[in-house]
Amino acid sequence: MNTAVASVGGLPRMPARPVPIAGWRQAALTQARARMIIGAMLFIALIAVLALRLVDLAVLHEAPAGARDPAALMAPDRGDIVDRNGIELARSFEAFAISVEPPKLLTDRRELARKMAAILPDRGEAAIYADLTANKKFRYVARRVLPWQAKAINDLGDPGIVLRREPQRLYPGLDLGAHTIGYTTSGTARAYGRSGMEKMLDARLSDPATRGVPVALAMDSRVQQALESELYTGMTKHRAAGAAGIVLDVHTGEVVAMASLPTFNPNAPGKLEPGQVADSSRPDARYNRATMAVYELGSTFKALTIAMALDSGVIKSMQQTFDARAPIMIGGHTIHDDRGHELRKFATTPEIFIHSSNIGTARMASALGGERQRAYLDRLGFFKPVAIELPEKGRPIYPAVNNWGEAAVMTVGFGHGVSVSPLHLATAYAALANGGILYPATMLKVEPGQAVPGTRVFSAATSDKLRALFRLVVTNGTGRKANTPGYRVGGKTGTAEKVVNGRYAHSQLVSTFAGAFPMDAPRYVVLAMLDEPHGTADTGGFATAGMVSAPIVEKLVARIGPLLGVMPDENKDVDVGGLLGLIADKQADE
């Protein structure tokens, strides 16, 4: 196509082009219409997309994802605590709480209080009326109510009543193992552990990262029940002020069961159990006698003194005798044997042990010396609170070093002057029975094969000799009533007078049997202690450990032995024949 080129004023001119005016307008109109259609279609498409998206959001994603996260729903509000077999001991659940907003109440408050009190008998009409008429915006009327109670309250229909769901802790076993498990109190954000393992494990149980995995305790709930049951039977029979009991694995230090009576219901801590009577002169039921209380545990200490003397070479053979002819006068005190148990001769170690001679043991302790005695007690952990995870631990009481003279050495030797918790004694007895290694007690389950660090306190030879002596006490000594047939129980009785206002109270005893079974290959330490027991007709009025605590162990071992995999066998036993030859009087009185 040819185009004409012209210039105006020296500027080059655009090439001339023929422009069809009518066709151009038509084309422009068509193009504009097409663009408009495309624009409209895009707009419709956009609206369609938005509408679909709205449907998507409204129908398919009606709630924010985070609020209904399945993983979050599956994790409990607070981690579970289970026993060594996976049985639930503590679990969280959502309970109903009933609250009121007094300004919004419409019905007559007196009438409403009456109706609510009929549904919530624990509160009482007056207390509820006080809540309903309080000059507050919000008041809790009752927490942790039953579902039917929540429904009945809701059916009252007053808009001022508010029902809430809040996490609560449930202890299905009620008072089973209460002192070990502990309890929680509800806070605004979460439940807080207040005692026992609930307090010790508080961070772990409430941490979202770890609360999904239950914490397994060493406790076996079946053994725990047997221990509590037998202790309770013994406590009520002998009208004791309290009782404590322990079952401890001698090879791992696991506390398979631990009980302190009277006990409490962790679902309602601080409230009296049915049948319990408030007594301000006694400690609260939450007081753990097994770990918090410290007692002079009496003759059970003699086993430790004999072990120290054997281990350090003070006792070179079992035939070696000690002067038990007459009481010892020292430091203004007289050390004598219990009436009816006087040996009045040079006695061998087995005789001193099965007759529980204070004089003979004092002679051994004297020969051992205060320095070595303190060193052993220190290695056994008797000068500090017991090694256990529980926060409730008592501090032992013992003479000051500068007051640890000959008199203290002798009296500590037979269990006077040193006060420790029953759990201290149980861990020491485990060391005596297991070959001489002290394992710290633990409330947590030790997995099979898991190594447990221990400290050697006594030699294996010393432990062997003590096992035979323990068995001898049960076959021929003061602990005969603990002899469960077939289970080869061994141990030592200890009856101590309580110290009241700085003086020994002759009528207030602490009667303890500590031992282990089966003594030919010990697996478990058992300890039963009654606090202030009273004699009965069948005990001849005596409240000594051999009469009141040993029978508890006898029944307990028969129940827990099979549960713990210890089978009775009357064809097996510890050979005590050699020791029997060293005893003039083969049967000790109880």
Catalytic residue IDs: 299
CB of 551 to other proteins, least distance (A): 14
CB of 485 to other proteins, least distance (A): 5
Distance of alpha carbon 220 from alpha carbon 445, whole angstroms? 10
Which of residues 190, 222, 237, 372 is near other proteins by CB under 8 A? 222
Q: Please report how close the Cβ of residue 271 comes to other proteins at its closest, in angstroms.
A: 17
Contact between 47 and other proteins per CB under 8 A: no
> Is there binding between residue 579 and other proteins (CB under 8 A)?
no
Question: Minimum CB separation from other proteins for residue 149, in Å?
Answer: 16
Q: Nearest-5° angle of CA 232, CA 483, CA 562?
A: 70
CA distance 127 to 129: 5
Where helices occur in 381-421 by DSSP H, the ranges are 406-413
The residues facing 295 across adjacent strands are: 420
Q: Residue 55 or residue 401: which is nearer to other proteins going by CB?
A: 55
How near is the Cβ of 84 to other proteins at its closest, in Å?
A: 14
Q: How far is the CB of 164 from other proteins (least distance, A)?
A: 17
Count of C-beta atoms within a 10 Å radius of residue 261: 23
Q: Which two tokens stand for residue 278?
A: 């408030």
* Per CB under 8 A, 330 contacts other proteins: no
Asked if 422 and 297 touch (Cβ cutoff 8 Å), the reply is yes
Q: 88 with 217: CB under 8 angstroms?
A: no
* Separation CA 567–CA 431 (nearest Å): 23
Q: Which of 558, 564, 580, 582 binds other proteins (CB under 8 A)?
A: 558
User: What does the block give as tokens for 272?
Assistant: 């009296």
568 contributes a contact to other proteins by CB under 8 A: yes
Q: Which range, of 17-25, 171-179, 464-472, 533-541, touches other proteins by CB under 8 A?
A: 171-179
Q: Which two tokens stand for residue 382?
A: 């008797």
CB of residue 41 to other proteins, shortest distance in Å: 5
Asked if the peptide bond before residue 518 counts as cis, ω within 30 degrees of 0, the response is yes
Q: Does 168 bind other proteins (CB under 8 A)?
A: no
Q: Rule CB under 8 A: is residue 172 a binding residue for other proteins?
A: yes
**Rounded CA separation 101/590 (Å):** 67
Query: Is 520 a binder of other proteins (CB under 8 A)?
Result: no
Q: Report the distance separating Cα 361 and Cα 414, nearest Å.
A: 6
521 binds other proteins (CB under 8 A): no
Should residue 176 be labelled a site residue for other proteins when binding is judged by CB under 8 A?
A: yes
For other proteins, the binding residues in 76-95 under the rule CB under 8 A are 76, 87-88, 91, 93
Contact flag: residue 229 with other proteins (CB under 8 A): yes
The correct pick among 173, 396, 491, 515 for binding other proteins (CB under 8 A) is 173
Separation CA 555–CA 226 (nearest Å) = 9
CB of 1 or CB of 60, closer to other proteins: 60
Among 68, 110, 165, 239, binds other proteins (CB under 8 A): 68
- Judged by CB under 8 A, does residue 224 bind other proteins? yes
What CA–CA distances, in Å, run from 415 to 167, 246, 264, 493, 573?
Answer: 48, 19, 31, 12, 29
- Residue from 26, 31, 317, 403 that binds other proteins (CB under 8 A)? 31
Among the candidate windows 132-140, 224-232, 249-257, 441-449, which touches other proteins by CB under 8 A? 224-232
Residue 212 binds other proteins, judged by CB under 8 A: no
Whose CA is closest to 249, among 512, 483, 443, 85?
A: 443
The yes or no reply on residue 213 touching other proteins (CB under 8 A) is: no
Measured CA to CA, the distance from residue 352 to residue 338 in angstroms comes to 12
Q: Is 75 exposed, middle or buried (0-12, 13-18, 19+ CB in 10 A)?
A: middle
Among residues 356, 588, 321, which one has the least CA distance to residue 480?
588
Residues lying near other proteins in the complex (CB under 8 A): 30-31, 34, 37-38, 41-42, 44-45, 48-49, 52, 55-56, 60-61, 65, 68, 70, 73-74, 76, 87-88, 91, 93, 170, 172-176, 221-222, 224-225, 228-229, 485-486, 555, 558-559, 562, 567-570
